Amino acid sequence: MSKKILVVDDEKDIVETLSFMMRARGYEVIEAYDGEEGLKLAKEQSPDLMILDVMMPKINGYKIARLLKYDSKYKHIPIIMVTARGQDSDKLIGEETGADEYITKPFEFEEVLDCVNKYLEA
C-alpha cells in the first residue's frame, strides 16, 4: 500500500505541483488549502507525512504542528515545514513546535523529495 502524504498550503499552484510530483513517485496525496482544513484532514486521515506551509489563513503552520506534536495520537506523523521566511528566529520557532524538517521557499523539488524519502523509505 502506498504511503499517504498530506500537503497543506494556501497557494494552490504549489499544492498542485507538489502533489503531481509526489504522485509521480508513487505516493498517495491528499490536499488542503488552509490551516483549518489541513488540521482536520491530518486528524481524519492519519497521513504518513505532512508537508506544511507556515503562513496560511485561519490557522498557521506553527500552530498546526504544535497541536499535532503535543497530541500523542498524532505526534508520530513527520512534519516538513515549508515557508518563505528564512530568518533564524522562524527556524527556531519551527523547531520548537516540533516540526521534523524545515525547508524554505523557493525550494527545489529534489530537496523536498529527499526529506520525504528519509521518513517514508526507512
* Binds another protein by CB under 8 A, chosen from 58, 87, 96, 117: 58
Choose the stretch contacting another protein; rule: CB under 8 A; options: 38-46, 53-61, 71-79, 108-116: 53-61
CA distance 66 to 5: 18
Interface with another protein, residue 17, by CB under 8 A? yes
Cell of 67: 497541536
Q: What residues form DSSP beta bridges with 79?
A: 50
Burial class (CB in 10 A: 0-12, 13-18, 19+), 12: exposed
Interface with another protein, residue 70, by CB under 8 A? no
- Binding residues for another protein, rule: CB under 8 A, are 10, 13, 16-17, 20, 35, 54-60, 62
